[in-house]
Amino acid sequence: MTREAAPPDGGGDGECRERMLASLLDATQELMVARDADAIAQVAVDAARDRLGYELVGVHLLPDAPRPEGDGGGPNSPEGLVPIAWTEPLVALIGQDPPPTIEPGTGVAWESFEEGSLRVFDDLRTAEVELMDPETAFRSELHVPLGRHGILIVGSAEVDEFDAGDVYFARILAANTTAALENLAARRAIEAREQELARQNRRLEEFADVISHDLRNPLAVAQATIEMGLETGEAAEFEKTRDALDRMEALVDGLLTLAKEGRAVGDPEPVDVAAVAERAWETVETGGATLTTASVDLQADPARLRQLLENLLRNAVDHGADDPADLTVTVGPLEDGPGFVVADDGRGIPEKERDAVFEHGVSPGGGTGLGLTIVRTIAEAHGWSVGVEPSEDGGTRFVFRTAER
C-alpha cells in the first residue's frame, strides 16, 4: 500500500498536508449531515480510502448506535462491535464478507476500544497481544476508538506501515466521525423527547374530551334520575342512576389506565408474545372462541404487553362475530419485519372506520370506547407503531411494528 502522508509538525510536503486537511474538512461536512450511524460509518470509510489513501479500512459499532429505523439493537442483535462499513480489499484479504463481529473481551481490537485510546501496531505477529485470528493476514494495524460508539480500524499487509502522519490524519477523521455520531445521538434523543411530549399532549386532550363529554353525560343522567327517583320513589329510576355511575367508574378506570400505560417503557425485558397472549386469553370471557399462537420474541414490559393483548382479545371476542364460537383469533410474527400481529376471522372493520379505530369514543357494545386507545398508547410507550387492516380471512388484523432501538 503506497500513499502520501504528512507528519503533524508541518514537515515534509506541506502542500500535501494542506490538501489532505481540506479533503478531511469536506468529509466532515458529509459526516454531519449523514442520516444515521450506518451512513456516518460509510462516509468515514470512504474518506479513509479516497481522501487518505488507505485500502484496508473498517468501522465497527456497538448495536445501540443510532442505526437506521428498524435496524436497531433488539433482543436478537449480536453483542460486541458489529461491522458497519468496510472496503472491498479488506473483505478480499480476510475472505469474509461481512467482516466478523468483534466479540467482547476477545482480541486486540476490543482491547483498544475498551482502552479508548489510539494504538499503532507495527507488526501484529510479534506484538504481545491477543488476536481473534492468529493466522491474520494483517501485519500493521491502526486502531482509533470512536468514543463510546465503536472503533475505526486501518490495516496493512506490510510491517511498519503507519507513521506520525498516519496517526495525525486518522485521529482527525476519527474525532470528526465521533462528533457526528454524538450529534446524531443527541438529535435522536431530542426527537424521542418531542415524540413523547406529543403523545403526552394527545393523552391530555383525550382526558379532557372524556371528562368534558363522556363523563358529563352519565353524570347528567345520574343527577336527573336521582331527582326523578326522589320525586316518584320508583326503583327503576335508581337503577338508571346505578348504571350511569357504573359507566362513570369504568371511564375513570380507563383514564387511569391510559395515564399509567402511556409512560415510556424504560426497562423492557425479553418476552414471548405468544406466551403472554395465552396468559391473557385465560382472563377473557371467550364464549367458545379459539386462540392460535406462534412464538414472537421481543423486548417489552410484560405487564403492559399483557394489558394490550387482553384488550385486543376481548375486543375480538366482543365485536368480531355474532357467535364467538365461530371466531378464531391468531397471534403471531409479522412477516415483513420485526413485530407481531393479532388477527381474527370475524366480520372485520369497515374501511371508512379504520383510520379512527384507535380514537376514544362510544363502543358499539356499550363499553367505554377506550380499549383500543389504550392499545395504541401501550404500543407507543414501547416505541412501536400500530395499524389495522383486513385479515386474510376477511376479519381484522392489528399490525405492530416494533422497530426496536
pLDDT at 43 over 80: yes
CATH number at residue 97: 3.30.450.40
Residue 66 banded pLDDT, cuts 50, 70, 90: low
Q: Is residue 9 part of a domain?
A: no
- C-alpha distances out from residue 89 to 27, 93, 98, 255, Å: 21, 6, 12, 60
Residue 73 banded pLDDT, cuts 50, 70, 90: very low
Number of independent structural domains in the chain: 2
Same domain assignment for residues 43 and 181: yes
pLDDT at residue 72, rounded to an integer: 47
CB atoms within 10 A of CB 35: 11
Convert the pLDDT of each residue in 143-186 to its tens digit: 999 999 999 999 998 999 999 989 999 999 999 999 999 999 88
What's the mean pLDDT when you consider all of the chain? 82
Contacts (Cβ under 8 Å, ≥6 apart) of 53: 1, 2, 3, 4, 5
Number of H helices, E strands in the chain: 11, 12
Q: Is residue 307 part of a domain?
A: yes
pTM over 0.85: no
CATH number at residue 380: 3.30.565.10
Same domain assignment for residues 32 and 145: yes
User: Is pLDDT larger for residue 232 or for residue 141?
Assistant: 141
In terms of residue numbers, what domain contains 97? 14-189
Interval 243-268 mean pLDDT: 68
State CA 250 to chain mean position distance. 33
Q: Is residue 282 part of a domain?
A: yes
> What kind and span of H or E run contains 372?
helix 371-382
Interval 264-283 mean pLDDT: 89
Same domain assignment for residues 160 and 276: no
Residue type, 201: N
Least confident range of 121-135, 147-161, 168-182, 287-301: 121-135
**What b-and-e string marks burial along 93-103, b requiring 16 or more CB atoms within 10 Å of the CB?**
bbeeeebebbe
The C-alpha cell at 358 is 384507535
Same domain assignment for residues 110 and 18: yes
pLDDT at 293 over 90: yes
Least confident range of 6-15, 36-45, 79-88: 6-15
pLDDT at 296 over 90: yes
pLDDT at 256 over 50: yes
Same domain assignment for residues 282 and 167: no
Last residue of a domain, one of 147, 167, 189: 189
Same domain assignment for residues 284 and 156: no
Same domain assignment for residues 184 and 274: no
pLDDT at residue 70, rounded to an integer: 44
Summarize the chain as % helix, strand, coil (round to 5): 45, 15, 35
Residue 254 banded pLDDT, cuts 50, 70, 90: low
Residue 255 banded pLDDT, cuts 50, 70, 90: low
* 211 vs 195: CA distance, rounded Å: 24
pLDDT at 63 over 60: yes
Same domain assignment for residues 176 and 271: no
Q: Is residue 207 part of a domain?
A: no
Last residue of a domain, one of 189, 220, 250: 189
Same domain assignment for residues 155 and 270: no
Beta strands 297-300 and 269-272 are antiparallel
Q: Is residue 331 part of a domain?
A: yes
Q: Is residue 57 part of a domain?
A: yes
pLDDT at 6 over 50: no
Convert the pLDDT of each residue in 328-375 to its tens digit: 999 999 998 899 999 999 998 888 888 778 876 535 444 556 778 888
Last residue of a domain, one of 148, 163, 189: 189
* 210 vs 379: CA distance, rounded Å: 21
Q: Is residue 1 part of a domain?
A: no
State CA 101 to chain mean position distance. 21
Interval 208-232 mean pLDDT: 69
Convert the pLDDT of each residue in 305-330 to its tens digit: 988 998 899 889 988 888 999 999 99
Residue 83 banded pLDDT, cuts 50, 70, 90: very high
CA terminus-to-terminus distance, the chain: 39
Residue 29 banded pLDDT, cuts 50, 70, 90: confident
The C-alpha cell at 315 is 375486543
CB 343 within 8 A of CB 396: yes
Q: Is residue 351 part of a domain?
A: yes
Same domain assignment for residues 164 and 270: no
Residue 212 banded pLDDT, cuts 50, 70, 90: low
Same domain assignment for residues 141 and 274: no
Comparing CA positions, the residue from 260, 292, 256 lying closest to residue 273 is 292
Same domain assignment for residues 275 and 152: no
